Amino acid sequence: MIMDRIENWRHYCDDPLWQRAFEYLALLDADSPEHPMTPLEGDDLMVRVMSYATRTPEEAVLEAHDRYIDIQASLDNAEGIGWFPRAELEIKTSYDAENDVVFFNASGPPRAFVVNRPGCFTALLPQDAHMPQLHPGPESVQVKKVVFKLRADRFRA
């Protein structure tokens, strides 16, 4: 997992798709319209803007991806993201290749917890099981965020 301020994105990867994601992110703000997963560079880089109310850990899902890295950034309000080492988890629902997702049972609290605020990003790699959509504090908030799907085999830190 990588968590940093958006202006530091260049420190992590020099692939053109990584750059394209952050150039697109620079165009977004809290007023950007929601849209479903949309290709930016075929199936190598896709983007989705969404809004939802944050959840408790009991309501949220714990997931990981094999083919894609998630780059997540909050555009309005903040959300918590719990991180778990994928190799230590018990599979709840087997890998769905069409949707590139596997779900896990949470066995205790996350090993790390980040609050993704506007101005920051979190990149989640295939080994990073993650539980997004969590309350950033004691209560639920309505968050708007962007998720990029970047082909994992293109990421070279």
Overall number of domains in the chain:
1
- Encode pLDDT of 76-129 as tens digits: 999 999 999 999 999 999 999 999 999 999 989 999 999 999 999 999 999 999
CATH of residue 22's domain is 2.60.120.370
Name the percent of the chain lying above pLDDT 90. 96
Confidence tier at 154 by pLDDT (50, 70, 90): confident
Residues in the chain: 157
What is the structure's pLDDT at 111?
Answer: 96
What is the structure's pLDDT at 87?
Answer: 94
Confidence tier at 156 by pLDDT (50, 70, 90): confident
What is the structure's pLDDT at 26?
Answer: 97
87-91 contacts, C-beta under 8 A, 24 or more apart: 87/127, 89/62, 89/129
- What amino acid is encoded at 37 in this protein? M
Task: Give the domain range for residue 71.
Answer: 2-154
What is the structure's pLDDT at 155?
Answer: 82
